Amino acid sequence: MESNKINVAVLFGGRSVEHEVSILSAQQAIAALDKNKYQVIPVYISKEGKWYSGDVLLDVKAFRDIPALLKQAVPVYFSHDYGDQMLYQRQSGGLFSKKQAGTRIDVALPVVHGTSVEDGCLQGFLETCGIPYACPSVLGSAVGMDKIMMKAVLREAGLPVVEYQAFTAGDWAEDAEAVLSAIQSKLHFPMIVKPANLGSSIGISRADDPEALREKIELALSFSLRILVEQAVDPLREINCAALGLPGDVEVSVCEEPLNGKEILSFEDKYLSSGSSKGMSGAKRRIPAELDAETTELIRSYTAKAFSAMDCRGVCRVDFLLDPKSNQVYVNELNTIPGSLSFYLFEPSGVGFDQLLDTMIRAALRAKRDADRLTRVYDSNILAQGGFKGKK
């Protein structure tokens, strides 16, 4: 019966450079959700940041012409009243026109990548509304979007990370020579220069000498005000592994080795090389990665540890850098909402995409129940008790 189903809002798109990748990931998730259990409500956030719903969003082909699609889609907004959990159709009659019937959302499944949607902003909005959501908390999402914060948290958790030096656009403007000498006293060439808060390899490049270092930093500064320079792992093998669930109750996937001919896995390598519309699941890779049993288990245990250290929930992918000469493993980064939700990493252990989504939704509902059980100090009114003297 329709009414017994859980209403799942699949949120996708957003004001992010990874907008299109999100559309592909979301369409894959929508196709895989078990329609006997869930009523799927697609919610698309345009590149301008406007929110839409409607059945037209269920057809991936409709996204070839987005202006035409938006003419057919229904503008919507979430009630921001805590616990209301309603998605309403936006009316042209203005704010005070008659409220239209809406749809109650039981759980949100954010399938979004990049800034403004994966970085804690959308998660904070869902917290404000009181809607359970199937991805990491505001804290984990924000830390996951900033490679400088993320490295600090991972290192503090006892996980191995490469040596690095971080600085801001302000530091660079004030004294670029001092920044360059601090980097070169800590690291040796080759180095990798990264904007701290982008994804999909945008603005990331390798520097082999001081001149290139300065140049690559200038390039990275055109993308971000926060920069990270890392010791390059060279030679390099890249290994990824995903975790699913909640801290303390995680399922870890097999490992994969993405395959590419270039030094830095580019946006094209990650998403476009297969020429198909499969998103991250279409990229070239070896599954499971060819690794000895010990390294495999080490990577899998680091994956669960990183997932907990960053307050993750849902499905997250941890990317590793492996030096094949020394066999040293480093945690490179954690993707809080990975491309294609990493479904292809769970299939080899018999977990279908539909089951992966079931687990994500269960984790979202459980996290909300756990949060609701916490004592909220503001539930009592200290003003009602008299004697309030204000803050000293």
Binding site for ligand ADP (CB under 6 A): 162, 192, 194, 199-201, 204, 230, 232-233, 236, 238, 264-265, 319, 321, 332-333
Give residues with Cβ within 8 angstroms of 179, minimum separation 6. 167, 171, 172, 217
| Rounded least distance, CB 162 to Mg ion, Å | 13
Shortest spacing between CB 318 and Mg ion, in angstroms:
10
Where does residue 67 rank: exposed (0-12), middle (13-18), buried (19+ CB within 10 A)? exposed
CB of 17 to ligand ADP, least distance (A): 10
Question: Minimum Å distance from CB 32 to ligand ADP?
Answer: 24
User: Would you say 69 or 191 has its CB closer to ligand ADP?
Assistant: 191
Give min distance, CB of 92 to Mg ion, in A: 43
Comparing CB distances to ligand ADP, the nearer of 87 and 153 is 153
Q: CA 86 → CA 105, 138, 197, distances in Å? A: 6, 21, 32
Yes or no: say if 336 and 167 are a contact pair by the CB < 8 Å rule: no
Helix (H) or strand (E) holding 6: strand 6-13
Nearer to ligand ADP, 252 or 321 (CB): 321
CB of 39 to ligand ADP, least distance (A): 34
Least distance between ligand ADP and beta carbon 160 (Å): 12
**Residues facing residue 45 across a β-bridge:** 13, 51
Tokens 């989504």 belong to 357
Tally helices (H) and strands (E) across the chain.
Answer: 11, 16
321 binding partner (options Mg ion, ligand ADP, none; Cβ < 5 to 8 Å by kind): ligand ADP
- Of 43 and 191, nearer to ligand ADP (C-beta) is 191
Strands 38-45 and 51-53: antiparallel
Q: Which does 256 bind (CB under 5 to 8 A by kind): Mg ion, ligand ADP, none?
A: none
Q: Which does 142 bind (CB under 5 to 8 A by kind): Mg ion, ligand ADP, none?
A: none
Q: Which two tokens stand for residue 163?
A: 């040596």
> Computed from CA positions of residues 135, 136, 142, 144, in that sequence, does the dihedral angle turn out positive or negative?
negative
Which CB sits closer to ligand ADP, 126 or 191?
191
Nearer to Mg ion, 119 or 319 (CB): 319
Q: Which residue has the tokens 């996980």?
A: 159
Number of residues that bind Mg ion (CB under 5 A): 1
Binders of Mg ion among residues 292 to 321 (CB under 5 A) are 319
CA distance linking residue 25 with residue 347, whole number of Å: 16
Which of 10, 192 has the CB closer to ligand ADP?
192
Q: Which residues bind Mg ion (CB under 5 A)?
A: 319
